[in-house]
């Protein structure tokens, strides 16, 4: 069953589509989404179809920043009761933690992670997708929404330390620079916003602890977090930590507050292993990274958690029967094919 997302993800889609010369209703119909999703924010729709819509819209408009343009219009209210829960928190840090905890009620295919690194906080949205689905627009939308949330809470003058994307730079950086400022980087190890920890301690003057308690009761009633499996949680951490070179089971166990033996035991009970999860995530990542011809193979190897390019090369050849360079060279002949279960043997 595909992941779902609230129709609120399409808030202002009509306006942004019109602004770049598209017929929004025709675009929505083409990817199989119901037209009602443009008007009903609480209607659950297919997340993969929404991701395809963003990519199709960018392609049809001949732009590579459609998702980012859509994020400019986002408000906390677009996240429904999850956004309201964040708005009533005492500090910006608590607001982001509330979003991370309850985001599954907005979409069961979106994860938000906060990681402390000395005096910095790295905030990483992760969007799940089927293998072979381009993710540039969905990634920029998700990072843009988190940025908008932070800027609404911290004030329009606030800027992060860094905003990073794993994909390459756009043809024109004007929209990125207007939204994020000059500290935006491409071809990095993660899609993330890096903030100063002290910035996130800023109080939210309008917060109401009584209202927050009522909203929490409501959110807990309608389901809380949707993904409670160990394999699902481990997979999320692999996605986040692999490009950063910190994807060890010891590191993930520390994040989850258990020891490595507990993770192994729980994964075995769920019919999988840590190594198989890492392999699955690498398989999804490598297809996306190969699409970016400007990304050198040595950097791709690092982002997939390999200690050396030679190790990555052996892994790729053993898995797909050719070198990564050959695969890239033949990309035009199998443009819609990517390293996945359907890859060459």
Q: What is the pLDDT of residues 272-315, one digit of tens each?
A: 999 999 998 888 888 777 877 777 888 888 888 888 899 999 99
> Does 332 score more than 90 pLDDT?
no
Helices (H), the chain: 13-19, 24-30, 47-60, 66-71, 81-87, 92-102, 136-154, 174-180, 197-200, 209-222, 230-241, 249-256, 260-269, 274-291, 297-303, 309-320, 324-329
155, 105 Cβ separation under 8 angstroms:
no
Residues of the chain with pLDDT > 90: what percent? 51
Confidence (pLDDT) at 295: 79
Cα–Cα distances (Å) from 124 to 114, 186, 188, 195, in that order, read: 7, 15, 13, 11
Residues 47, 3: contact at Cβ < 8 Å?
yes
44 has which bridge partners?
6
Mean pLDDT across the stretch 53-58?
Answer: 97
In this prediction, residue 130 carries a pLDDT of 62
* pLDDT band at residue 198 using 50, 70 and 90 as cut-offs: very high
pLDDT at 138: 96
Query: By mean pLDDT, which of 27-36, 204-213, 225-234 is the weakest?
Result: 225-234
- What's residue 42's pLDDT? 84
- % of the chain at pLDDT higher than 70: 90
Per-residue confidence at 340, pLDDT binned at 50, 70, 90?
very low
Which strands sit side by side in the sheet containing 192-196, from one edge to the other? 110-117, 120-127, 192-196, 162-164, 184-185
Whether the predicted pLDDT of 43 surpasses 90: no
pLDDT at 283: 86
| Least confident piece of the model among 45-49, 214-218, 288-292 | 288-292
Q: What residues contact residue 126 under an 8 Å CB cut-off, 6+ apart?
A: 110, 111, 112, 113, 191, 236, 239, 240
- Ranges 82-96, 111-125, 126-140, 312-326: which has the least confidence: 126-140
Could you tell me the domains of the chain? 4-200 (3.90.1520), 230-334 (1.10.10.60)
Structure tokens given for 311: 């190790």
Quickly state the pLDDT bin for 1 (edges 50, 70, 90).
low
- pLDDT computed for residue 333 by the predictor: 52
**Can you give the pTM of this predicted structure?**
0.72
Give CA–CA dist 206/88, Å, rounded: 7
Identify which has the larger pLDDT, 320 or 60.
Answer: 60
Rounded mean pLDDT of 192-197? 97
Mean pLDDT within 239-263: 79
CA–CA dist 189, 197 (Å, integer): 21
Residue 336: pLDDT over 60: no
Identify the residue whose tokens are 């024109």.
Answer: 172
* Distance from the Cα of residue 3 to its chain's centroid: 13
What integer pLDDT is reported at residue 344 of this predicted model?
Answer: 39
Q: Is 21 exposed, middle or buried, given 0-12, 13-18 or 19+ CB atoms closer than 10 A?
A: exposed
Question: What pLDDT score does 228 carry?
Answer: 57
Q: Does the pLDDT at position 160 exceed 90?
A: yes
Q: What is the pLDDT of residues 83-121, one digit of tens each?
A: 989 999 999 999 999 999 999 889 988 999 999 999 999
Q: What tokens does 271 get?
A: 């019919």
Q: CA angle at residue 165 from 72 to 18, to 5 degrees?
A: 30
- pLDDT confidence bin for 226, thresholds 50/70/90: very low
Across all residues in the chain, what is the average pLDDT?
Answer: 87
Reference 11, options 56, 58, 50, 60; nearest CA is 50
Total count of residues recorded for the chain: 345
pLDDT given at position 256: 66
| 277 within 8 A of 329, measured Cβ to Cβ | no
Give the pLDDT of residue 345. 31
Band of pLDDT at residue 77, cut at 50, 70 and 90: confident
pLDDT of 231 higher than 50: yes
Q: How far apart (Å, rounded) are the C-alpha atoms in residues 150 and 156?
A: 9
């Amino acid at each position: 069953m595909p992941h779902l997302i609230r129709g609120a993800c399409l808030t202002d889609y009509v306006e942004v589509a019109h602004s770049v010369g598209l017929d929004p209703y025709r675009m929505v119909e083409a990817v199989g989404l119901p037209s009602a999703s443009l008007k009903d924010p609480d209607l659950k729709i297919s997340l993969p179809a929404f991701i395809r819509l963003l990519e199709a819209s960018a392609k049809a408009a001949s732009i590579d920043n459609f998702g980012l343009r859509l994020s400019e219009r986002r408000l906390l209210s677009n996240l429904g009761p999850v956004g309201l829960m964040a708005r009533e928190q005492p500090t910006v840090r608590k607001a982001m933690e509330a979003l991370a905890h309850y985001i599954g009620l907005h979409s069961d295919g979106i994860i938000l992670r906060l990681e402390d690194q000395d005096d910095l906080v790295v905030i990483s949205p992760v969007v799940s997708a089927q293998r072979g689905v381009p993710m540039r627009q969905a990634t920029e939308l998700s990072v843009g929404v988190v940025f908008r949330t932070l800027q609404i809470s911290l004030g329009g003058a606030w800027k992060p330390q860094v905003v990073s994307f794993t994909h390459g730079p756009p043809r024109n950086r004007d929209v990125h620079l207007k939204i994020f400022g000059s500290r935006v980087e491409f071809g990095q190890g993660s899609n993330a916003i890096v903030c100063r920890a002290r910035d996130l301690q800023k109080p939210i003057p309008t917060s109401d602890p009584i209202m927050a308690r009522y909203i929490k009761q409501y959110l807990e009633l309608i389901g809380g977090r949707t993904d409670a499996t160990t394999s699902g949680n481990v997979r999320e951490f692999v996605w986040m930590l692999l490009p950063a070179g910190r994807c060890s089971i010891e590191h993930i166990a520390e994040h989850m507050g258990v020891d490595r033996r507990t993770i192994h035991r729980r994964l075995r009970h769920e019919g999988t292993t840590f190594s198989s999860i890492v392999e699955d995530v690498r398989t999804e990542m490598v297809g996306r990274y190969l699409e970016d011809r400007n990304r050198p193979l040595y950097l791709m190897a690092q982002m997939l958690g390999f200690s050396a390019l030679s190790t990555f090369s052996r892994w790729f050849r053993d898995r797909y029967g050719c070198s990564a360079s050959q695969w890239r060279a033949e990309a035009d002949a199998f443009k819609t094919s990517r390293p996945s279960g359907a890859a060459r043997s």
